């Protein structure tokens, strides 16, 4: 196998024996065949008018790409089923047998394909092709979430086909690939806006809400991942059954939505970011539902209480295809549940763009009066490396007259510290999931409009942590908006060459995170 699509890839260069994520070589190879089949399917319909394409084309391509996102699907049987579905739709263009697509691995494998492309096209072109593919994977994940709420965009569907077909054709010029990557960022804005509207229309606009970090006595179910539709269905099915529902990881922002927090048995939040689940899940005395990416290899002491949903899968773990959660409920009732109350604190969620912009006059006045000197967006993905303490150190070192905006599971590097208030506002504003990245974009654009300047002229610094492909498409979205001087870490992508990074540095001022004090001084000087 060869995989270097995530930030934690082995040795910073690529996983070749087994994925750091736990992905087996067999699963990795099958995922690569699935991507190949998706490209072939897109090629089949690239020149067919949109109105004449199959209705299931866009969701099929989305699902195929989302399955291959880091920490989603590790189950070879389900990946094979997805390959057969895509290959059957692609027909003879797929170059893979429907009956036995695994046979394609004999002559087609990820490492040989990358090696051959590097030899013929060079590292720069190969890296840009990978950047585009990973951006498409992230975009597909967000589009999948929106589609769960019956929200679609023909622009998104069309670009997915176009970009996959061009990758299949071997687009090989740096200029065209850079343009396609920025177009991916532009379309990602569409996807994020679509998802934002879907969440707000379905569950109401998030409002500032304190969340219990801990638990109370009673039977319990823990919900992790990102899917609010699954959470709502579970809340409805458990109402009146004496089971408390807890969020985990990226589900924490659910507590800010009016239509979700009205359920009294949405009791609190248990645990931290995704990479702590192997330490935390054994201590949760109930059932656990994983709704989307962020799954890690389950440990024996909780695998019997763990359930996966939709595209998420691990071999041998109970899987739920629809939204009948009766098996999860039965597991929770059979488990001991909590017998005591533990409160490690409270966290304030719900600062979506409506909540923040609702205080825009106050914020603008505070900036003009000198009470607020600067805004810092610190968020993105969390991960296990010690270098990620950079984000904690940065957050706790930032001056008291700066406002910190955070989102994604990167927020967990900032939790547990009292940041106080400034100008009557909390200094730490939690804007939601990585799925809610549009909130930060919308706030930045609105503030720039209010001050009559560009985003790059605002007293604003963006410091991102990345882990997987959804973070890649968000970065491309920011670059499309011509947002400059973004800091990213803890490491730069292994799939980008020094020459391509130089283009991004020269054009957009993209830079790696460095020393906290030096970075903070540079941000202050740029204000």
Q: CB neighbours (10 Å) of residue 13? A: 11
Q: Determine the average pLDDT of the residues in 50-71.
A: 97
pLDDT of residue 115: 62
Query: Does the pLDDT of residue 93 top 90, yes or no?
Result: no
Please give the mean pLDDT across all residues of the chain. Answer: 94
* Average pLDDT estimate for 147-164: 97
Closest listed residue to residue 163, CA positions, set 473, 514, 482: 473
Would you state the pLDDT for residue 94?
74
Instruction: Specify the pLDDT at position 338.
Output: 98
Position 464 scores a pLDDT of 97
Residue among 349, 367, 369 at smallest CA distance from 458: 367
Task: Let me know if the fold of 209-344 is the same as that of 351-526.
Answer: yes
411 half-sphere exposure, CB direction, 13 A CA radius: 27
Residues in contact with 123: Cβ distance below 8 Å, sequence separation at least 6, in sequence order: 497, 499
- Residues 6 or more apart whose CB falls under 8 angstroms from that of 201 comprise none
Separation CA 508–CA 524 (nearest Å): 19
State pLDDT tens for residues 101-141. 766 655 555 555 566 666 677 888 999 999 999 999 999 99
Mean of the pLDDT values across residues 53-70?
Answer: 98
Report the pLDDT value the prediction gives residue 104, as an integer from 0 to 100.
62
- In CATH terms, the fold of domain 351-526 is Rossmann fold (3.40.50)
DSSP for 445-471, written as a single string: HHHHHHHTS-GGGSSEEEEEE--SHHH
pLDDT of residue 117: 64
DSSP secondary structure of 276-332:
GHHHHGGG--SEEEE-SS---PPPHHHHTTEEEETT-B-TTSEEESSS--HHHHHHH
Region 2-30: what's the mean pLDDT? 94
Share of the chain above pLDDT 90, in %: 90
**Every domain of the chain and the residues it spans:** 10-202, 209-344, 351-526
Contacts of 419 (CB under 8 A, 6+ apart): 395, 404, 426, 427, 428
- Residue 116, Cβ density class (10 Å: 0-12 exposed, 13-18 middle, ≥19 buried): exposed
Give CA angle at 31 (25, 37), nearest 5°.
140
Evaluate if residue 37 carries a pLDDT over 60.
Answer: yes
CATH fold for domain 209-344? Rossmann fold (3.40.50)
The C-alpha atoms of residue 326 and residue 320 are separated, in whole angstroms, by 10
Task: State the average pLDDT over residues 465-475.
Answer: 96
Worst-scoring range by mean pLDDT, 106-115, 212-221, 498-507?
106-115
């Amino acid at each position: 196998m060869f995989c270097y699509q995530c930030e934690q890839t082995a040795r910073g260069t690529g996983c070749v024996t087994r994925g750091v994520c736990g992905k087996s070589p067999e699963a990795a190879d099958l995922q690569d065949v699935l991507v190949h089949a998706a490209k072939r399917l897109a090629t089949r319909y690239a020149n067919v008018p949109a109105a004449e394409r199959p209705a299931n084309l866009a969701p099929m391509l989305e699902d195929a790409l989302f399955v291959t996102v880091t920490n989603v699907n590790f189950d070879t049987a389900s990946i094979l089923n997805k390959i057969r579905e895509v290959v059957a739709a692609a027909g003879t263009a797929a170059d893979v047998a429907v009956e036995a697509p695994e046979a394609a691995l004999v002559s087609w494998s990820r490492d040989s394909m990358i090696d051959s492309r590097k030899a013929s096209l060079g590292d720069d072109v190969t890296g840009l092709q990978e950047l585009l593919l990973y951006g498409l994977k992230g975009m597909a994940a967000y589009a999948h979430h929106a589609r769960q709420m019956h929200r679609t965009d023909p622009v998104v569907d069309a670009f997915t086909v176009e970009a996959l077909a061009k990758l299949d054709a071997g687009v090989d010029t740096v200029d065209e690939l850079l343009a396609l990557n920025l177009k991916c960022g532009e379309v990602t804005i569409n996807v994020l806006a679509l998802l934002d509207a879907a969440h707000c229309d379905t569950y109401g606009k998030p409002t500032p809400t304190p969340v219990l970090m801990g638990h109370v006595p009673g039977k319990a179910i823990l919900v992790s991942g990102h899917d609010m539709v699954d959470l709502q269905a579970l809340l409805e099915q458990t109402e009146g059954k004496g089971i408390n529902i807890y969020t985990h990881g990226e589900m924490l922002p659910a507590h800010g939505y009016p239509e979700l927090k009205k359920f009294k048995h949405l009791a609190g939040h248990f645990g931290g970011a995704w990479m702590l689940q192997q330490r935390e899940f054994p201590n949760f005395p109930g059932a656990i539902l994983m709704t989307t990416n962020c799954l890690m290899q389950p440990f024996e002491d909780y695998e019997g209480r763990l359930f996966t949903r939709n595209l998420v899968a691990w071999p041998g773990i109970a899987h739920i295809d629809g939204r009948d959660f009766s098996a999860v409920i039965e597991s929770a009732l059979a488990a001991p549940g909590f017998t005591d109350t533990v409160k490690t604190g409270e966290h304030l969620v719900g600062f979506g763009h409506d909540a923040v912009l609702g205080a825009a006059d106050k914020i603008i006045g505070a900036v003009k009066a000198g009470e607020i000197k600067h805004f810092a967006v610190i968020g993105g993905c969390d991960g296990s490396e010690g270098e990620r303490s950079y984000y904690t150190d940065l957050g706790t070192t930032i001056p008291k007259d700066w406002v910190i905006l955070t989102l994604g599971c990167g927020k967990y590097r900032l939790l547990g510290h009292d940041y106080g208030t400034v100008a009557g506002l909390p200094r730490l504003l939690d804007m939601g999931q990585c799925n809610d990245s549009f909130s930060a974009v919308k706030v930045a654009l609105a503030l720039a409009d209010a001050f009559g300047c560009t985003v790059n002229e605002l007293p604003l610094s963006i410091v991102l942590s990345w882990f997987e492909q959804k973070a890649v498409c968000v970065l491309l979205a920011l670059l499309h908006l011509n947002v400059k001087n973004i800091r990213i870490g803890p490491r730069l992508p292994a799939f980008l060459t020094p020459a391509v990074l130089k283009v991004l540095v020269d054009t957009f001022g993209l830079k790696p995170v460095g020393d906290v004090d030096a970075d903070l001084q540079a941000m202050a000087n740029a204000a």
